[in-house]
Amino acid sequence: MDLEQAKSFTDRCSQCAAVSWGLTDEGKYYCTSCHNVTDRSEEVVSTAVIPNTKINSISRGLRKRSRHEAPDVCSGSVDGVEYSEWKEKGVLKMTVPRTLALCSLSLLWQRETITLSDLLRFVEEDRIPYRNAFQLFPEEMKVYGRDKGIFAIESWPDYEDIYKNMIEVAIFLDLPRFPDITEDCYLHPNILCMKYLLEFNLPDEMHSLTCQVVRMTGIGEVDFLTFDPIAKKKRTVKYDVQAVAVIVVVLKLLFLLDDKLEWSYSGLAETYNEEHKEGTWILRQSNSKGVVNDGLKDKPQFVFRKWYQVMKKTFDEKRRQWEEARAKYYWKTKRPIYRSHIDKSVAYKRREMVKNLQKQFSALLGTTPVVEKKAPSSFQFSWTEGDTDSPCFHGHSLQGLLITKGQSLITKNSLYWLSTQKFCKSYCKHVTTYEESNFSLSYQFILNIFSFLLRIKTSVLHEEVSLIEKKLFEKKYSESKKRSRPKKVRRH
């Protein structure tokens, strides 16, 4: 019907003099040559020669236009117009990132087993509508014009940005104190540390050490963990980042990570494992009965060098796949948002041309096998016992790294270096900038793989490690904070 109406209109365009017309959604003619939009009821159309059905179509279009549009530019829906006005006044207005922040707040309120990093990864995997969420709206909820400022997303969500939006939204909504994060909650550092030890393929025995760090620093206390928007310190805990930072601190306690000690310990562990291969039985000397077999197999000692090699190979492959997926991602949507109807007609032609080219390339390349989408999971890796490509280190022992002192076990290594020697001034409240060249290769490697799996910047994890160390070695930090370069300090 629209095509027939456009063909029946034979006046020449006032700009280019062409006779080639199309109809907009509001019932107005636009020139398909120069995209000039003409008000046909005022400029070139005489109602004396138009049938009644066409006059009704014109009036409906004008009524819709007057409700949302000042006459030359498509202004958008009421929400889109208000958003622009409120933004100019500095009033908090909901956007797609803030909506995601609100989702994260709701998960935190329910104390669900989904962290912020998990949420961002689900967005990345298109399991949560984010970039083109408006495509899922019902047909009657049309978005256009200034709505683009709300729904047009052309970047991936950033952890720090969503984290800050969570605080802003909670304060704006005047939310009360959230439910307590207790020891039996998934978000408690003791539970999250166990989760990430499994994810990073580290020995289970490290969990007792992470629990000690949590207890000594006080980051496992209910008041510290529970978000309270109306409190003086309006902040949430980065639960996932904090737990991973604790693991990094424990690795430094065990191996120092100075590019020397970790390799020295690896040589000792490899020698021990060679002498106690699988199938070797532990023999114990009995008082008067001679040598007996107690039927227990010896656990292999954890070898940092082997773990490093396995993780580097797996991490490199994972990162390559991630970079390829990002490079191939098609940002354009099937239902784009247009600033005006002129933009719409131009974009429509371009989109049709792109579709035709894609069809031609697809025909040349052949059909691509459809990969079945896996169910969402909090874990990104799967480590299997006996797998030669991705061996599992969960059951390996820390025996060669711990010594007995009285009734307790302490780390064989007695040295430690602080990740940050100097913090910014009190009003700034953050650590100094992270520069890779200032740190050992082992420390860089661990921060790189851990931060990648959390989808955060390396500097964010380094800052959290520094804050944990500041609590754990408060006295040592006070003594060494004036020094310019990291130096080893002896732990007592």
- Angle (CA) 200-204-208 rounded to 5° is 115
Where does residue 452 rank: exposed (0-12), middle (13-18), buried (19+ CB within 10 A)? middle
- Residue 33: C-alpha distances to residues 20, 28, 72, 423 (Å): 7, 15, 18, 62
Residues 6+ apart with CB under 8 A from 267: 305
Asked whether the predicted pLDDT for residue 307 surpasses 50, the reply is yes
User: How far is the CA of 127 from the CAs of 24, 124, 165, 249, 375, in angstroms?
Assistant: 35, 8, 21, 33, 10
- Count the neighbouring beta carbons within 10 Å of the beta carbon of residue 459: 18
- Residue % of the chain over a pLDDT of 90: 40
Do residues 189 and 220 make contact, with C-beta atoms less than 8 angstroms apart?
A: yes
Q: What value does the mean pLDDT take over residues 461-479?
A: 83
Q: What is the pLDDT of residue 131?
A: 79
Most confident of 27-36, 439-448, 465-474: 439-448
In contact, 73 and 145? CB cutoff 8 Å: yes
Judge whether 466 and 437 are in contact, CB under 8 Å: no
Judged against a pLDDT cut of 50, whether residue 176 lies above it is answered with yes
DSSP state of 398: -
Q: What percent of the chain is predicted at pLDDT more than 70?
A: 65
pLDDT tens by residue, 415-447: 998 887 655 554 454 555 688 888 999 999 999
Please report the pLDDT score of residue 390 as a whole number.
77
φ/ψ of 296, rounded to 5, equals -110, 135
pLDDT at residue 150, rounded to an integer: 72
Q: Are 486 and 476 in contact (CB under 8 A)?
A: no
Which residues, including other chains, have CB under 8 Å from residue 479's CB and lie 6 or more apart? Answer: 489
Average pLDDT over the chain reads 77
How far is residue 468 from each of residues 226, 254, 428, 433, 477, measured CA to CA in Å? Answer: 18, 16, 18, 16, 11
Could you write out the DSSP letters of every residue in 66-105? HHH-SSSS--B-HHHHHHHHHHHHT-----HHHHHHHHHH
For 106-158, what is each residue's pLDDT tens digit? Answer: 999 999 999 999 999 999 888 888 877 777 777 666 666 666 667 777 788 99
Q: Given a cut of 50, is residue 161 above it in pLDDT? A: yes
Distance, first Cα to last Cα, the chain: 86
Which pLDDT does position 43 carry in this prediction?
39
Chain segment 381-413, per-residue pLDDT in tens: 888 776 667 789 999 999 899 988 887 788 999
Q: pTM of this prediction?
A: 0.73
More confident residue, 487 or 27: 27
CA atoms within 13 A on the CB side of 340: 12
- The yes-or-no verdict on residue 73 having pLDDT over 80 is no
What's the pLDDT score for residue 91? 66
Structure-block tokens of residue 178: 């959230």
Res. 288: pLDDT tops 50: no
Q: What is the pLDDT of residues 179-225, one digit of tens each?
A: 999 999 999 999 999 999 999 999 999 999 999 999 999 999 999 99
Which of 124, 34, 439 minimizes the C-alpha distance to 256? 439
C-alpha distances out from residue 12 to 26, 61, 151, Å: 20, 22, 38
